[in-house]
Amino acid sequence: MISLETNRALRDENTLHLPARALRFLRADQLDQAREAIELAREQRWPLLVLGGGSNLVLTRDFPGLCLQIALAGISHRPLDGEWVEVSAAAGESWHGFVEHCLMQGWYGLENLALIPGTVGASPIQNIGAYGVEIKDFFHELEAIDRTTGKLRRFTRAQCGFGYRDSVFKRDGRDRYVITQVTFRLRRKPRLNLAYGALAQALSHLESPGPRDLFNAVVALRRAKLPDPAQLPNVGSFFKNPVVSEGQFSQLKTQYPELVAFPDPKGVKLAAGWLIEKAGWKGVCDGGVAVHEAQALVLVNRGGARGEDVLRLAGRIQADIQARFGVGLEIEPRVY
Ligand code: FAD
Ligand code: EPU
């Protein structure tokens, strides 16, 4: 039997520290509790907000339904033939804790994704990525409760439709599934991914760096650039890096030879942080929300900001980048 909290503050449950309340709230640390809550919301026709660590959300208003925080815990593994091991983690496990656990067990591949905030269960939603790796590279399958039937369903990697900061859970499957467990296939012999220039450079003083060195280098790089949400509330990159056509890229490159861009299967991916910095937004503050001084792609709550303040500054930036460069910026976090 579950017991719901009412009129629950969500300020401490979202890393932008935005004030909002949920009419009803449950923190589920057992699968049965989550299923019961989903069933109840369906029967009562309450809207459902599934919450992990709240590190990719913008809360703009009080939530009129049930906020279900997924706190399921547990990690298990199964050695496979050859060099692989299958590792399953419950959705409520901390992502960074999981990455560190795998490293300590000698299961390799996720080192580049160290220190990303949030939960394992949210990791497939936008196919989290950093420093040359995305979870799709090591993802095997996941289990989710289908909110329309209450039944558990498995998704293979192909069924998840992963893309850059994208998956089926942001498109056709949006608001339909509650992820309960994610399974990865990891290596038992390390193979370091140093494709990201700054990482290779950070490790260049070592003759043969190991996975722990890589993990430490990622943590150090992230600490240098990204604000710690506990000190300066934020949700990481506020916009996706936009992908433009080769033609548009050449035009922009002629006009701005220092433009930062990367190859992409669908065209050329521009560094949105560069565009925003170039347009002079670094450090600009409006209504308590500011463009971070060390990383223009990050918006921070300097204190007292509300969701609408965040969206107002984001809108001003989007309009300016469109006007100056002819490039549209898409908001990365989910707006409620
Ligand atoms: P939440 O913010 O709680 O939820 C995000 C979305 O997922 C919501 O729509 C929610 O409904 C849904 N959701 C959450 N859990 C479940 C579930 N179990 N089942 C179904 N739906 C669910 N992201 C990157 O990709 N790369 C980075 O390098 C990166 N760096 C960051 C750095 C900082 C400082 C911060 C604050 C954020 C960063 N992020 C990054 C964004 C964020 O950490 C990830 O998107 C993370 O996966 C969000 O996890 P969460 O548990 O906090 O999700
Ligand atoms: N840049 C600037 N000014 C800035 C910020 C960036 O000029 O203020 C330029 C720099 O030249 C830099 C380039 O942009 O070389 C790329 O910057 P960075 O390496 O910091 O990465 P990013 O493109 O800004 C992306 C992800 C991050 C991820 C890092 C590392 C997106 C939207 N963001 O940021 O993910 O951690 O790469 O791989 O793809 C997130 O999604 O929340 C997130 C933090």
Residue 226: what pLDDT? 97
Q: How far is the CA of 270 from the centre of ligand 2 (A)?
A: 10
CATH fold of the domain at 5-70: 3.30.43
Residue 82: what pLDDT? 86
**Quick check: CB of 333 below 6 Å from ligand 1?**
no
CATH fold of the domain at 234-335: 3.90.78
Q: How far apart are CA 20 and CA 64, in angstroms?
A: 10
Q: Which residues of the chain have pLDDT under 50?
A: none
The first and second tokens of residue 127, run together, are: 């196919």
State yes or no: is 165 an active-site residue.
yes
Minimum-distance ligand 2 atom for the alpha carbon of 296: 8
Q: How far is the CA of 87 from the centre of ligand 1 (A)?
A: 20
- Tell me which of 141, 165, 167, 306 is the catalytic residue: 165
The first and second tokens of residue 16, run together, are: 């932008």
Question: Angle at CA 189, nearest 5°, toward 188 and 195?
Answer: 120
Write the pLDDT tens digit of every residue in 160-176. Answer: 999 999 999 999 999 99
Q: Where are the domains of the chain?
A: 5-70, 75-225, 234-335
**Quick check: CB of 164 below 6 Å from ligand 2?**
no
Residue 18: what pLDDT? 98
Residue 256: what pLDDT? 98
Residue 81: what pLDDT? 85
Does domain 75-225 match CATH 3.30.465.10?
yes
Residue 90: what pLDDT? 98
Test site for ligand 2: of 237, 241, 282, most ligand atoms within 8 A of the Cβ: 237
pTM above 0.85, yes or no: yes
Residue 1: what pLDDT? 83
* Cβ–Cβ under 8 Å, residues 66 and 37: yes
